[in-house]
Structure 1
Amino acid sequence: MSDFIAALGLVLVVEGLVYGGMPRLAKRLAEQVIEMPESTLRGAGIGAMIAGVLIVWLVRG
């Protein structure tokens, strides 16, 4: 359970870097996401999930 909480903390750090460090970029990305087709967003989300699982699997073995 502590690994899960640590992972959530890292997600917050990464998101904080984007919003706190590059707010203009975050706004532009949000505008572009609204215009993207749902299938593209779904594919990107599934790809990110697969990449995340692979990374955890490689690190944790």
Structure 2
Amino acid sequence: MQEFWQVFPVAVALVFVMEGLLPFISPERWRSMIATVAQLDDGAIRRFGLGSMLFGVVMLYLVH
């Protein structure tokens, strides 16, 4: 369990780095993407979220 608390902050930090890349590199495209996502219905956003989580779980399984 101690290993989890050593790795977890690193994982959270990497999420913040990845989330910050697009707004830093291309704020115009990021703003456009956010406007497009705001127009999607809840079901589409949930499906995207589910797909992202499943992709993350598969990546963790393959790496670990």
Match of 2:25 among 16, 21, 25: 21
Q: Structure 1 CA distance, aligned partners of 2:60 and 2:10?
A: 13
Seq. identity, %: 30
The residue correspondences of 1:1-61 to structure 2 (distance < 5 A) are 1-60=5-64
After the TM superposition, which segments of 4 or more aligned residues of structure 1 sit over 4 Å from their partners? none
Q: Structure 2 CA distance, aligned partners of 1:2 and 1:47?
A: 27
Two-structure CA RMSD over aligned residues (Å): 0.8
Q: Structure 2 CA distance, aligned partners of 1:2 and 1:26?
A: 32
Unaligned runs of 5+ in 1: none
Q: Structure 1 CA distance, aligned partners of 2:20 and 2:39?
A: 24
Q: Structure 2 CA distance, aligned partners of 1:53 and 1:2?
A: 19
Unaligned runs of 5+ in 2: none
So what's the TM-score if we normalise by structure 1?
A: 0.90
Q: Structure 2 CA distance, aligned partners of 1:18 and 1:37?
A: 23
One-letter amino acid of the structure 2 residue matched with residue 43 of structure 1: R
Instruction: Flag the structure with larger Rg.
Output: 2
